[in-house]
Amino acid sequence: MLETTSLALPRSRVNASLSVYAWTSLAFFFVLCYFWGVRYGDYLYALQENSVFLYTREYLARWLQTPDGALSYATSFLLQFAYYPLLGGVILAALGVTVQLILARLLPMRGVKYLLTFLPSCFYPVSTTWPSYYVFLPYNLPVTFGGQLALLICLLLFMPWRRVNKARVRMPLALLAIAALYPLAGFWSVFFGVLCALEELTRSQDVTTSAKRNARVVRAATLLIAAFVLPYLYFYAVYFQRMLVRNVLLQGLIEDVRYDKDVTTSFFTYGFAALSPLFVWLGYLACRVRALRVPSDDAKSLTRAQRKRLKALEEKTLRVEKRARSSKRKSDKNERAKDQTPAVEPTDNPEALATQQSRVQARLLWELWVVLMACMFLLAYHSRTFFDVFKSARALIRADWQTIIEVDQKNPFPHEALVGLRNLALYETGELSQRAFERPIGGLSAVAVTQRDNERARQGNGYYKLKMALHRMRRTAELNANFALVELQYCYWGQTNIGARVAMNNLIGVDDRAVSFFKTLAFAAMINGEERLARRYLYTLEQTLFHRHWARVALAYLDSPGFYDDVRDWRSDAQYQAIVDAQRARAQFASSLAEAAQRYRVCPEEVERLKSLIDNARLLRPPVDRALTPAIPTLAYITGLFNFEEYDQANEQRQELILLSALFQKKGEDFMAHADDYFARFKPGEAPKALEQGYATLRYIADKKTWDKGSYQFSDATRQGMADFIEFADYVGTHASAPEAQAYVRENFSGQYWGYLCDDSVFDYY
């Protein structure tokens, strides 16, 4: 047996072991940076657009009116840096790695067990990406940054607290911390209290008598009760009239999902986020219970741990010696076996065996770490359509129309939100009439499930029930992904009344907590020519760190001579019109757009770009104040924007848009009422491509034999496409089901107006 005095590990081995852990944590930092800053960069940007941080005392006072207000305030402060997603990813990665390192210090784990310290920081990326629409509600933002931040604060408070040896000092400090944390971070005071109770229950010092053991249990029970009682006392003292009792312990976590009753979706929505601290509790409890078996003296604990490790090494050494002796006996008979005898006898160098074992543990740690990182990526929400919607929404803010078109072209199954954004981008680039029907015009991907899958699920098949539930959850996430910037998208389409109404409702409901609300209201006011109203919201945005430049560009536009050009006041209220006229009369315009840009120290080209957006939105605005929408639409079609009765009085560009609107809305009679006169203006095959294809399809529906015999001669591309399409349509009429025909048409004949021939309701499974 080796002597105890020789069990001290060499410093070189200790440093090498620490370097493995340090490199693992550093690699974890870069993995999180990539996850948040690159993979979910557009997602972070959308979150940032649905938050706002103002450097004013009034803004801070407004947040402090709720129990988790300080946490939400800090979250908004951090979230504003996601304006640059890579910077936001660095902040989230720093929080996650800091939590991991503190847990590694708090729960002394080495070897493969070190992997457990990564779990809390991995659960947050998973839990935060699944809630979909709900994370865009500003009062749910603590889930993203706030959860990690609150966990970090609790651990930083807990580490010095547990070092206090005197129980009569620890107890008041713990109770004071619980009472102070609740008004600042809500639920996380309960988390801190339970953590302290576990520490008291598992402390291994001063437990030599039953009286001291009982006192320890009493202290732990007191802290546990206080963790749940103190929040309710605070609630009755401060928030009795303004807060629901059932939400007392939910403050600081994701808001209760009131709209979604689906069990599977709800589980992913707030199950992971709400229960992720539980994994920390369980891990800490397991380690503390294990620590009860270790003597109280730290020096003895360390010696015993070393003895246990090296006892295993000694047993391995004996086995190697036995094999060496066996090899030596065989060497007399076989000279080649003698050469394979170990060059260095492990008995003489147990340190070498320890080093070898350390390397094996390090290799195993890295292998399992890679598996854990892969699981984090796979469990996080990953859908191409989901990412594409957010990338297009971010491009919409920058008016980057080419990016929107490129994103749509790469997605084989466009989401309705992508269709709406694509049509807007085509309109802004002047290509809508040519390319409107190059791609499918709406619907969701039908690849994941089929009607047969749905029928088997209804029959009770467990596998298909799970498959349908997961598909429904994915479908819900993708349907709601466009809600990130929906009210601003309304305004780009010219529906300023709807966009402003939605933004104002949200603004009032969440108390000024989203940049997108201010942008929408300012944009709508600029379209309507309401200068004072626009300035009200722009002055607020000017107080932000990263959106002040956009606000100054808009303020320069308000001072430019072209602000009131083509406002098209359609309101009949004489008093309102008088106010608008008075505003125009006293407006202090700059002499030129360049002078207005110089006033606010912004680029004239940016002001000109904003003016172009406003002018196009004014062109699309309906002739009357219509805000009729049965539900918040995804704007897949240009609906409600045009009145077909105004076709004869409209200019040529607007007539073209009205005909396109008729095709999008499947109003063939309205289209054909004006089509003959419209196409008479063009030479054969030179009419806008999208209108020509729609015209050919409607003529085919009216008369399958003479559809191409009219006065307008279709282009060769349209004729060939229609010939292929007619042949296919005749075939599938007797040989294929509707869903199969729909999928085939989308893939091969999207250039034709397939919507008239194949009913897209086959995608509505639920």
- Go through 208-236 and write b for each residue having 16 or more CB atoms within 10 A of its CB, e for each that does not: eeeeeeeebeebbebbbebbeebbeebbe
Q: What is the pLDDT of residue 95?
A: 93
- Whether pLDDT at 580 is above 50: yes
Q: What is the pLDDT of residue 634?
A: 39
Exposed / middle / buried, residue 681 (Cβ in 10 Å: 0-12, 13-18, 19+): exposed
Mean pLDDT calculated for residue range 461-481: 71
Q: What is the pLDDT of residue 417?
A: 74
- Whether pLDDT at 2 is above 50: no
Confidence of residue 489 (pLDDT cuts 50, 70, 90): confident
φ, ψ dihedrals at 99, nearest 5°: -60, -45
Q: What is the pLDDT of residue 311?
A: 65
Mean pLDDT calculated for residue range 142-163: 85
Q: What is the pLDDT of residue 37?
A: 93
Q: What is the pLDDT of residue 304?
A: 54
- Lowest-pLDDT range of 440-444, 453-457, 483-487: 440-444
| Distance, CA of 386 to CA of 144 (rounded, Å) | 18
Mean pLDDT calculated for residue range 117-130: 81
490 vs 442, more confident: 490
Q: What is the pLDDT of residue 7?
A: 34
Q: What is the pLDDT of residue 502?
A: 78
- Whether pLDDT at 480 is above 50: yes
Q: Which two tokens stand for residue 383?
A: 């859908």
| pLDDT tens by residue, 282-328 | 666 666 666 555 444 444 444 455 556 656 666 666 676 667 666 66
Sequence-distant (6+) residues with CB within 8 A of 183 are 67, 69, 70, 234, 238
514 vs 758, more confident: 514
Confidence of residue 454 (pLDDT cuts 50, 70, 90): confident
Mean pLDDT calculated for residue range 92-98: 94
| Distance, CA of 508 to CA of 485 (rounded, Å) | 17
Q: What is the pLDDT of residue 389?
A: 83
Give the end-to-end CA distance of the chain in Å, rounded to a whole number.
Answer: 72
| Distance, CA of 211 to CA of 594 (rounded, Å) | 84
Q: What's the number of CA atoms in the CB half-sphere (13 Å) around residue 765?
A: 22
Q: What is the pLDDT of residue 631?
A: 44
**Proportion of the chain above pLDDT 90, given as a percent:** 16
Mean pLDDT calculated for residue range 354-373: 78
Tell me what the pLDDT averaged over the chain comes to. 76
Confidence of residue 552 (pLDDT cuts 50, 70, 90): very high
Q: What's the number of CA atoms in the CB half-sphere (13 Å) around residue 718?
A: 25
- Whether pLDDT at 255 is above 70: no
Helix axis angle, 85-106 relative to 146-161, nearest 10°?
30
153 vs 145, more confident: 153
- Whether pLDDT at 763 is above 90: no
Q: What is the pLDDT of residue 199?
A: 86
Mean pLDDT calculated for residue range 585-611: 86
- Whether pLDDT at 472 is above 80: no
Q: What is the pLDDT of residue 113?
A: 76
712 vs 625, more confident: 712
CA distance readout (Å), 409 to 151, 301, 418: 42, 64, 10
